[in-house]
Amino acid sequence: MLKIENLHVRVAGKEILKGLSLDVKPGEVHAIMGPNGAGKSTLGNVLAGREGYEITAGTVDFGDKDLLQLEPEERAAEGLFLAFQYPVEIPGVNNTYFLKAALNAQRKYRGQAELDSMQFLKLVREKLRVLHISDELLHRAVNSGFSGGEKKRNEIFQMALLEPRLAILDETDSGLDIDALKMVAEGVNHMRSPDRAFIVITHYQRLLDYIVPDFVHVLAEGRIVESGDKSLAHKLEEHGYAWLDERRVPER
């Protein structure tokens, strides 16, 4: 589904990703952990197609497509979901309107009929019900004045509406409270299926108490330096990241 090979990325003239490789298959949940500043969010941003990232080597295949050749909207329409590809705040734009536009843009790209307001609201109500969230956020401007937890809730709701093939979630280092973590985890767990994959980026192990990953990777100094199952996350929680230093392979 997603195959990253030897990815090298420069940001503001500095090499941040230095030969990162990752293989994600349908149905899998991969956690990416790593010390602050390792390049976790950079990886997410590059996959989203955000500007300001210079790819100097490597390939990224998404299904049968060369992901790096696609515009951000095309990536979304191909079924890649990145919460942070959407603007942080859009004052004055109603959230419901925004979500409908995003969904219909995706449908149009795929040659599907656009949903009218009635059909969209039916879908919205269904998703709200299964995710156990209230419709309160829908009536506000996009992310305007949302708390950290509300932004996450809105991201999960966007994800549920867009039904991606691959969803990438960056917990960021801001530190969500336990209720927000549980809500994110519930959304992800609800959407887990044999034909959908997730990449969960997190600095801390605690999210992985609720989303049990199939694989855990450590991103350090721009590469995956260690991979394992969920027990690796517990090892990192206990021993930190320092023990990986002596095992680090030379750069290519």
List residues binding Mg ion (CB under 5 A). 36, 40-41, 173
Q: Shortest gap between Cβ of 38 and Mg ion (angstroms)?
A: 8
Residue (36 or 134) nearer to ligand ADP, CB: 36
In the complex, which residues of this chain contact ligand ADP (CB under 6 A)? 11-12, 16, 34, 36-42, 52
Taking the complex as a whole, the smallest distance from the CB of residue 40 to Mg ion amounts, in Å, to 5
Of 58, 188, 81, the closest CA to residue 131 belongs to 188
Least distance from ligand ADP to the Cβ atom of residue 8, Å: 13
Q: What does 16 interact with, of ligand ADP, Mg ion, none (CB < 5 to 8 A by kind)?
A: ligand ADP
d(CA 174, CA 194): 31
CB contact at 8 A, 83 and 170: yes
Q: Which does 12 bind (CB under 5 to 8 A by kind): Mg ion, ligand ADP, none?
A: ligand ADP
| Distance (Å, whole) CA 130 – CA 202 | 25
- Tell me whether residue 41 or residue 104 sits nearer to Mg ion (CB atom): 41
Q: How far is the CB of 171 from ligand ADP (least distance, A)?
A: 10
DSSP, residue by residue, 168-230:
EEE--SS---HHHHHHHHHHHHHH-BTTBEEEEE-SSSGGGGTS--SEEEEEETTEEEEEESH
Nearer to Mg ion, 40 or 230 (CB): 40
By a kind-dependent CB cut-off of 5 to 8 A, residue 202 interacts, out of Mg ion, ligand ADP, none, with none
Residues 6+ apart with CB under 8 A from 46: 7, 9, 17, 53, 55, 60
